[in-house]
Amino acid sequence: MPAKPVLLQGGRVVDPASGIDGTIDVLIERGTISTLGHGLSGEGATVIDCRGLVIAPAFVDLHTHLREPGREDAETIASGSRAAAAGGFSAVCAMANTEPVADSAAVVEQVFNTARAVGLVDVYPVGAITVGLQGERLAEFGEMHDSKAGVNFFSDDGRCVQDSGLMRRALEYAKAFGAIVANHAEDAGLAEGGAMNEGEVSGLLGLPGVPDEAEELVIARDLALARLTGSRLHVPHVSTAGSVELIRAAKTIGIDVTAEATPHHLCMTDTLVASFDPVYKVAPPLRTRADIDALRAGLIDGTIDCVATDHAPHAREDKEREFDKAPPGMLGLETAFPVLYTELVAAGLMSLGDLITRMSAAPARIRDLDGHGGPIAAGAPATLVIFDTEARWTVDPARLQSLSENTPFAGRELQSRIVHTMLAGKFTVRDGEVVDGQR
């Protein structure tokens, strides 16, 4: 039996890609937006009162760690999908550093199939660049690309490809499929032993630091290799002002590069590490106020194309260790939009439309994801997020959908809340509650 039509009534539709910002009713039939208009009749439809709410294309995350297979105590594809839907996402790219590593058709198809069965978000597995993330031999890109998972995005994220020749070959290999390579930029020699940003605060705390240059040297090299090969490079989790400058300059001369920044790097400084709370340990590390300002300027002017969460769940017994021994990583999916709404839009630094673009249309375009990131138009899939920009809530790690609790935003009051999320016309979140059993 076809699902009943849904009428989203009285909401403010914000979709910069279609040039829409205004109160418009949205009628959804058979998973597709059928009509946009004023005063649409709700006869025969489930009417959702959206007065006071914003309707936008659902968000897309290019950088998510789902931990399955291998560390189902920290997160599963099901729990990570719930977290993503709760955060307003319709699609996430699952990083390859699982156990076993996603370096073969078998593993990427396993992730893809499990996610489809859960059905809350579309999960696009990222393929490893090198076999076992060992940085020695290229993985079988072709096999992963030709698999059911259709991988067109490769990364050893968590580890940096140190060998320049290997990185060159990875870029060349990916180009054959029109795929993108994302390299976790961290020079091994400079970063060795580092637990936080190298600077004034690390000096005061007596913790070993990672200098900005550990990131910037690798980005500079990778940009040169992207120029050499003519391949598409994506720079994940940009964290320093110098990196923003390198990417801006590269774009000016036509290098095919895109870049992402995380909510935590856009909003938090290394001074938080003074608490020695391992929840603030992340790679790349939290940097300085000047870096935040440069990242924000880059996000606003488009040098940084998109936001990505780097959602990195860790089981409590792993994460709650001495700071220098704890694994890096923070939760991100459920707080990404409210954090950035609070810090950038409500603070008057960025328009709501620009934030929506950086979290939906821009990442969807980088990964060539049809059906995600809008537009909100007749005939397009009803893959939407509906949120309340006036609601305020306080982050309670115990109440998040993630199996893990390592959010650096615990106790923070945030403005804006996800009310509904829709994936191809089906509610994955309704009235703030995740709706299970989609498929």
In angstroms, what is the minimal distance from the CB of 311 to Zn ion? 11
Q: Does 358 bind Zn ion (CB under 5 A)?
A: no
In angstroms, what is the minimal distance from the CB of 1 to Zn ion? 45
Q: Residue 204, exposed/middle/buried by CB under 10 A (0-12, 13-18, 19+)? A: exposed
The dihedrals phi and psi of 33, each to the nearest 5 degrees, come to -70, 115
In angstroms, what is the minimal distance from the CB of 87 to Zn ion? 19
Q: Does 157 bind Zn ion (CB under 5 A)?
A: yes
In angstroms, what is the minimal distance from the CB of 158 to Zn ion? 6
Q: Which is nearer to Zn ion, 15 or 157 (CB)?
A: 157
Q: Which is nearer to Zn ion, 184 or 372 (CB)?
A: 184
- Selected catalytic residue, list 103, 122, 157, 310: 310
Q: Which is nearer to Zn ion, 25 or 212 (CB)?
A: 212
Q: Which is nearer to Zn ion, 156 or 354 (CB)?
A: 156
In angstroms, what is the minimal distance from the CB of 137 to Zn ion? 21
Residues paired with 414 in a beta bridge:
393
In angstroms, what is the minimal distance from the CB of 155 to Zn ion? 8
Binding span for Zn ion by CB under 5 A among 153-161, 244-252, 328-336, 376-384: 153-161
Q: Which is nearer to Zn ion, 16 or 313 (CB)?
A: 313
Count other Cβ atoms within 10 Å, centred on residue 365.
17
Q: Residue 252, exposed/middle/buried by CB under 10 A (0-12, 13-18, 19+)? A: exposed
Residues 325-344 that bind Zn ion (CB under 5 A): none
Binding span for Zn ion by CB under 5 A among 97-105, 177-185, 256-264, 328-336: 177-185
Name which of 317, 327, 324, 335 is nearest 408 in CA terms. Answer: 335
In angstroms, what is the minimal distance from the CB of 237 to Zn ion? 5
Q: Which is nearer to Zn ion, 132 or 230 (CB)?
A: 132
Q: Which is nearer to Zn ion, 46 or 134 (CB)?
A: 134
In angstroms, what is the minimal distance from the CB of 133 to Zn ion? 11
The residue nearest Zn ion at its CB is 184
Q: Which is nearer to Zn ion, 303 or 309 (CB)?
A: 309
For residue 324, indicate whether it is catalytic: no
How many residues in the shown chain lie near Zn ion by CB under 5 A?
Answer: 2
Binding span for Zn ion by CB under 5 A among 141-149, 156-164, 346-354, 415-423: 156-164
Residues 179-208 that bind Zn ion (CB under 5 A): 184
Asked whether the beta carbons of 180 and 205 are under 8 A apart, the reply is no
| Catalytic sites, residue numbers | 310
- Could you list the residues that contact Zn ion (CB under 5 A)? 157, 184
